[in-house]
Amino acid sequence: MFSITVSHHQNHGIIVVCVEGEISHANGLRIPEEMQKALARYSSRRVLIDLRKARNTSTTMENFGFALAVKRKEPELSEPHKPLRIAFLTALEDESHDRVLSILSATLPASGNSLVSKDEGSALSWLLSGPGFDADL
């Protein structure tokens, strides 16, 4: 079973994309699609992708293919003078996302605008830091 739940923390302007179940190459492409819809709906540029209840079952080649597909969506996700900050939150013991997240981090629009974390508090603090992101937790 695979599911994606999207919510918006209006106080801090953070979009939260919670993913549960087994992520394959095919269904994993729904994650950036849902994120793109939420970016348009909420006009926020801060996204927490919570993968703590999900496991990546894709092969190395599928992970590369997924990263390339996300890279192709880059023009749709980018906005001039509005940096997109994405924090990926993974479970402490889960390493299944490590390879694809390292590839994604290297291909996302601006360096320094993505974070992989195993700690929710740190991920939220990072999302709220940086230029144009002044808010109190």
Q: pTM of the entire structure? A: 0.87
Pick the CATH number of 2-127 from 3.40.630.30, 2.40.50.140, 3.30.750.24, 3.90.1150.10: 3.30.750.24
Look up residue 137 and give its two tokens: 């937790």
Sign of the Cα pseudo-torsion (66, 129, 19, 73, in order): negative
Between 136 and 67, the more confident residue is: 67
Each residue of 31-40: pLDDT tens digit?
Answer: 989 998 999 8
When pLDDT is averaged across residues 48-70 and rounded to a whole number, the result is 91
pLDDT of residue 132: 56
The helix/strand/coil state of 67 is helix
* Residue-range domain boundaries for the chain: 2-127
Torsion of CA 30, 74, 65, 48, to 10 degrees: -50
pLDDT digits (tens, 9 = 90+) for 74-83: 666 666 667 7
CB 42 within 8 A of CB 63: no
Report the candidate in 38, 48, 16 with the shortest Cα–Cα distance to residue 7: 16
Percent composition of the chain: helix, strand, coil (DSSP 3-state, to 5): 40, 30, 35
Cβ neighbours around 42 below 10 Å, total:
18
pLDDT score of 44 more than 50: yes
The H-assigned helical ranges of 1-136 are 25-28, 30-42, 60-72, 74-77, 98-107, 120-127
